[in-house]
Amino acid sequence: MLTRNIPSTGEALPVIGVGTWERFDVPSNDPRRAKLQEVLGTLFSAGGRLIDSSPMYGRAEGAVGELLAAMRSAPKPFVATKVWTTGKSEGIAEMQRSEQLMGGRLDLIQVHNLLDWRTHLKTLEQWKAEGRIRYIGITHYTPSAHAELESVLKAAAWDFVQLDYSLDDRAAEARLLPLAAERGVAVIVNRPFGGGGLIRRLVKKPLPDWAREQGYGSWAELLLKFILANPAVTCVIPGTGDPTHMREFLAAGAGALPDAALRQRMAGLL
């Protein structure tokens, strides 16, 4: 698995992680939990570490915590979640709940969708100084929020920003990705398949011969390689509850990344 360094510390982070929106929102007794366990096992066996969740995602945080507790021999994951409420005391209570659900100290807490970020930033900075968390971040998922996200990135010292970026959603290339690189902020990419719509369109077509000649085995691998070829990107977090899909995603984290000419060819697919 390729890695990229987190700029604020130099820690190496594997470039493929997993998102838990919707897929991990399942109760403890649901038979789908077995597949989720396999998804995490597949991620870890390929060298991946980052698992991203949020209180917004229903039972996902609890599912992650329980699954990790059952995998005591697994490599240490990089556990990320978010704070998604307003008010200082409400934010603290929510983050304490996330700690309990996910099994202890969290690596990264992000302010979800910029919600009351100034209030939460003060708490996050204190928790980081106390060693309660290791990193702090800010997130959003739509191009309409990019101007505000840019302003917030300039207003404080963040370790991470999480944003939308895909072959059919390249707005982040204009200002946010260069700004993150300039300010030394690690970038987590969400919605790498355009919220699912992009890959649903592409899978109806055969993978181009030139892509197969590059060694790409799926449309998912091609789309993730496109994202990772941007050096400002630290990690991409496609969501899945299917271990077969997880294996496809992980293939993008190994081998050569496309050069500028190949990325241009990929862009021409749309």
Q: Is residue 150 part of a domain?
A: yes
User: Does residue 6 lie within any of the structural domains?
Assistant: no
Average pLDDT of the residues in 32-53: 97
- Asked if residue 4 belongs to a domain, the reply is no
Q: What's the pLDDT at 75?
A: 79
Q: Residue 109: inside a domain, yes or no? A: yes
The pair of three-digit structure tokens given for residue 60, joined into one six-digit string: 């996902």
Cα–Cα distance between 35 and 46 in angstroms, integer? 17
pLDDT single digits (tens) 182-233: 999 999 999 999 877 899 999 999 999 999 999 999 999 999 999 999 999 9
Higher pLDDT, 196 or 13: 13
- Domain assignment present for residue 2? The answer is no
Please check whether residue 227 is in contact with residue 251, taking contact to mean a CB–CB distance below 8 angstroms.
no
Inside any domain, residue 167: yes
Neighbours of 56 (CB within 10 A): 16
What is the number of structural domains in the chain?
Answer: 1
pTM of the model: 0.97
In CATH, what number is assigned to the domain containing residue 19? 3.20.20.100
Does 114 map to a domain?
yes
- Is 224 within the bounds of a domain? yes
- Could you list the residue range(s) of the whole structural domain that residue 54 is in? 12-267
